[in-house]
Amino acid sequence: MKKRRLGNSDLEVSILGVGCFQFGGGSYWGPQDLKDVEDVVHRALDTGINYFDTAEVYNEGESERALGLALKGRRDQAIIGSKVTTANIEPAKLRAHCEDSLRRLGTDYMDLYMLHWPLNPLSVKHYSSDEQLMANLPSVQEVFNTLHDLKKEGKIRHIGISNHGVQQMGEVLATQVPVVANELAYNLLSRAIESELVPYCAEKQIGVIAYMPLQQGLLTGKYSTLDEVRPMLARTRHFHHSRTDSRHGEEGAELETGEAIRAIIAIAAELQVSPSVLSLAWVMANEHMATTIVGSRNLAHLHANVQGASLQLDHNTMTRLNDATEQLRLVLGNNPDYWENRNDSRIF
């Protein structure tokens, strides 16, 4: 399994990582068998995959707990990344939530601890109804000073961010607290980070962790039409705002999304691989992606994901895939917060 350095840290992460959102079950993904979690984690480690990505908010902490149980006896072989929500960033609460994550994970340190979303009221709104907190957010300096203290105490090895735009990364870097990673949505249907964010991260030596490489199932080829997509998975700007649970209020890009998916499926058929494998290989071919995290609910899923890490795409195939998704990229624009209206985004 190929590895890449995560930003300017000493972490060498596998180009394929395990996204642990499904671990622990929950209403979003449905039940998840703990034996499958254990099997996936152990086989992943045996395959050379060392990065496991979770968050306190995933299934109300059960993702962290399930990962911790699966890693018993093999903790030293894994690089664990977890995230704290913007509802828990007041200094005392941030410290307590870090310790809660450590306890659930069954470890005394995390390799990477990330702020899940940038510090702004809209981000907090999705995790808290505390109006006073939204009106009186701690400063970026205060939050990252607390994270730096946790690092100095050995509770976290490295500090990261997630879903931060160029301006927000600038504010974080101004604190003088070292940050080694930014976790961002990236796949063939969601290419907004290419224009500004990836070049900025490269310039500042911030590693990029790509999440949602299969666009929550859209790139697996399992849907005959977009109408089959469950409401919870159709909330992004790829879909019209009339979809249940959508909050972005935009017209969406269903025509362009459908055309792009059909083109990807056709190219995959020519190459005699699945759309999933092809889509994963495309993301991991981008050397700016230190690691690409994808969920594996069982060993069959993990095997397919490993195939994506093994497939080498030639220049012609990469060009065809880029061309097939270019119109969608243009319609969706350069803002990677696909769940909000681009004029009222959590990311800037």
Q: Tell which residue, 22, 44, 114, has the closest CA to residue 305.
A: 44
Integer CA distances (angstroms), 2 to 14, 47, 158, 265, 314, in order: 6, 11, 21, 26, 18
d(CA 21, CA 282): 22
- Strand 110-115 and strand 181-185: the pairing is unpaired
Residue partners of 202: CB distance under 8 A and separation at least 6: 288
Q: Residue 249: its pLDDT value, please?
A: 97
C-alpha 96/C-alpha 302 separation (Å) is 33
Of 212, 210, 211, 208, residue with least CA distance to 9: 208
pLDDT in single tens digits along all 348 residues of the chain = 999 999 999 999 999 999 999 999 887 778 888 999 999 999 999 999 999 999 999 999 999 999 999 999 999 999 999 999 999 999 999 999 999 999 999 999 999 999 999 999 999 998 998 999 988 999 999 999 999 999 999 999 999 999 999 999 999 999 999 999 999 999 999 999 999 999 999 999 999 999 999 999 999 999 999 999 999 899 999 999 999 889 999 999 999 999 999 999 999 999 999 999 999 999 999 999 999 999 999 999 999 999 999 999 999 999 999 999 999 999 999 999 999 999 999 999
Domain 3-214+276-311 has CATH 3.20.20.100: yes
CA angle 167–290–233, rounded 5-degree value: 75
In contact, 200 and 334? CB cutoff 8 Å: no
Q: How far apart are CA 136 and CA 121, in angstroms?
A: 9
Encode pLDDT of 47-106 as tens digits: 999 999 999 999 999 999 999 999 999 999 999 999 999 999 999 999 999 999 999 999
Contacts (Cβ under 8 Å, ≥6 apart) of 16: 1, 49, 280, 284, 291, 292, 294, 305, 306, 308, 309
197's tokens: 């964010």
Query: What would the pLDDT profile of 312-326 be if each residue is shown by its tens digit?
Result: 999 999 999 999 999
pTM, 2 dp: 0.96
Segments making up each domain of the chain, as ranges: 3-214+276-311
**Partner residues linked to 183 by β-bridges:** 162, 209
